[in-house]
């Protein structure tokens, strides 16, 4: 059974991964615009230290437990859930092959390569546009027009945290899409620019460690991760407004 956990002002799905995907699919069939946040430990930490980012995420439709730290934190309070990685959710939505898709993010040329690879993987997929994520603020209007003119119904934004959530929050009301989702480095992985962690790392929720090993510059985030576990996961204080709704 899928549950919605009201946690620190966020609406976080929990349960089996397939059930979460079915819930997302159902939401996309309604008239409501859907904004999915793929929540991991570093995003959770940013949520607590950045009030603007907190406000943005609280206006999202749902969050899914992307990171193992979020899964373990929910388990601490008795809410068992499978991890629901953002890249797997992105690929599942592509697999449905029901909606026109726009890829926004990464360096110039990478989204186009991701489009080619997705078209090879899903024969009838409809990717109606791509654009890199390195555009200036004064180009935002042109990007919005490009997305709307493409007929896109699904927008995947891979511009990193917190920029991708900021873009979605500020512009979703002007975008003619059914669903928007921040996907972090998923466009890089799908394009082949970056390799995904081996299955072993995925099974144990250690993809973050694999990325650090492959990209040592990411180790600068390690103290933040430890701070997250100390402040949030190790805390004995019951979260404010902890509430569960069966879906």
DSSP alpha helices (H): ranges in the chain? 17-28, 41-49, 51-58, 68-76, 86-96, 110-121, 140-150, 163-171, 186-191, 199-203, 207-214, 222-228
d(CA 122, CA 108): 23
Segment 186-198 shows an average pLDDT of 90
- pLDDT for residue 213 is more than 80: no
Q: How confident is the model at residue 188 (pLDDT cuts 50, 70, 90)?
A: very high
Tens-digit pLDDT profile for residues 123-157: 999 999 999 999 999 999 999 999 999 999 999 99
Tens-digit pLDDT profile for residues 64-78: 999 888 898 888 888
**132 or 206, greater pLDDT:** 132
- pTM surpassing 0.85? yes
pLDDT of residue 153: 98
pLDDT of residue 198: 81
- pLDDT for residue 241 is more than 60: no
Token pair 């009030």 in the structure block, residue? 51
pLDDT of residue 201: 75
**241 or 35, greater pLDDT:** 35
pLDDT of residue 137: 94
DSSP bridge pairs for 12: 5, 63
Segment 169-187 shows an average pLDDT of 97
pLDDT of residue 233: 65
User: Is residue 119 a contact partner of residue 127, using CB atoms and an 8 Å limit?
Assistant: yes
d(CA 173, CA 14): 27
| Sheet of strand 100-105, all strands in order from the earlier edge strand to the far edge | 126-131, 100-105, 154-158, 179-182, 34-39, 62-65, 10-14, 3-7, 243-246
pLDDT of residue 74: 86
Token pair 């992307």 in the structure block, residue? 66
Segment 19-26 shows an average pLDDT of 95
d(CA 139, CA 243): 41
Kindly list the domain boundaries of the chain, sorted by start residue: 36-238
d(CA 10, CA 58): 5
**72 or 18, greater pLDDT:** 18
């Amino acid at each position: 059974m899928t549950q919605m956990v009201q946690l620190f002002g966020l609406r976080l799905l929990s349960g089996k991964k397939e059930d979460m995907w079915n819930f997302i699919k159902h939401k996309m069939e309604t008239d409501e615009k859907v904004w999915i946040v793929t929540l991991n430990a570093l995003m959770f930490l940013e949520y607590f230290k950045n009030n603007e980012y907190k406000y943005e995420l609280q206006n999202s439709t749902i969050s899914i437990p992307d990171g193992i730290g979020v899964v373990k934190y929910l388990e601490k309070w008795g809410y068992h859930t499978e991890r629901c990685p953002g890249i797997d959710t992105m690929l599942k939505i592509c697999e449905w092959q029901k909606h026109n898709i726009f890829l926004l993010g990464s360096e110039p040329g990478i989204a186009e390569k991701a489009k080619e690879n997705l078209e090879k993987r899903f024969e009838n997929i409809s990717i109606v546009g791509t654009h890199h994520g390195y555009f200036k603020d004064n180009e935002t209007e042109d990007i919005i027009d490009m997305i709307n003119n493409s007929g896109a119904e699904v927008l995947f934004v891979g511009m990193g945290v917190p920029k991708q959530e900021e873009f979605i929050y500020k512009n979703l009301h002007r975008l003619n899409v059914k669903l928007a989702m921040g996907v972090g480095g998923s466009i890089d992985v799908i394009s082949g620019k970056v390799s995904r962690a081996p299955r072993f790392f995925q099974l144990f929720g250690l993809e973050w460690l694999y990325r650090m090993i492959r990209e040592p510059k990411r180790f600068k985030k390690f103290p933040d991760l430890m701070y997250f576990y100390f402040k949030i996961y190790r805390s004995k204080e019951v979260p404010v407004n902890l509430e569960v709704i069966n879906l």
